[in-house]
Amino acid sequence: MEQIPFNIQYRHDIESGKYLVVTRDGNSVRIVCWDRKGPYHILGLIKTGMVEIPETFLENGSCIDARECESDLFLILNPDYKEPSAEPSVSPSMELIWHHNTWPWGKSVKIIKSDGGAIVEMTFENTNPGVCYLSCVSVIEPLRRQGIATHLMLTCESYCREQGIFRIDLCSVLTPWVQDFYKKCGYIPIKEEDESMQMYKILNK
């Protein structure tokens, strides 16, 4: 299978499963860290037989600067990878309206309950591939506690998975029941800042 030169700019496609990482001599590699301190930012585990050997790499996949090495990183196309569809299928019990907008910095996607009573908005920045920022989750008072917000959150996560997104970030108000809702959805608090709580969730494939 044809090898493609490695570059850290392919991180999104690697983490989404589109590309597999291999060494120059064909051994499979599992990337475990992309931002290690020092010039060799990437930490990978090279599979040799029944063991994995740790090795560090430059952003271009080089194992040793300015010299070819059998452990240099390359990419191959994953034969089992399927391109994501534009939108996920959703429950027929709730009619949703989708709005897609493209901006110079990236794109945004709004999912709106057809009666206007609930909305979520996702933003995707070109400078942060593989990450979605959940910028708005809102359900009007009479429609709360009916599972609508949970359904919309699951719909967002389904869409993100199909787009190759591996993490969702959000910023929650400090109201206890709001934070409890996000925690029940699997979001983990990071830090409190400016009367809000930063949270995130890693999406399983």
The C-alpha atoms of residue 169 and residue 123 are separated, in whole angstroms, by 10
Residue 61 and residue 100 share a domain: no
Residue 127 and residue 189 share a domain: yes
In this prediction the pTM is: 0.55
Q: 155: burial class by Cβ within 10 Å (0-12, 13-18, 19+)?
A: buried
Query: Using the 8-state DSSP alphabet, how is residue 47 labeled?
Result: E
Residue 198 and residue 111 share a domain: yes
Residue tagged 């196309």 (tokens): 77
Average pLDDT over residues 106-115: 93
Residue 56, classed as helix, strand or coil, is: strand
Domain hosting 123: range is 96-202
Residue 119 and residue 29 share a domain: no
pLDDT digits over 137-173, tens only? 999 988 888 889 999 999 999 999 999 999 999 999 8
In the chain, how many domains are there? Answer: 2
pLDDT digits over 135-145, tens only? 999 999 888 88
Confirm whether 164 is domain-assigned: yes
Residue 109 and residue 24 share a domain: no
* 42: its two tokens: 């990437």
Domain-terminating residue out of 14, 49, 77: 77
Residue 169 and residue 106 share a domain: yes
The C-alpha atoms of residue 178 and residue 82 are separated, in whole angstroms, by 36
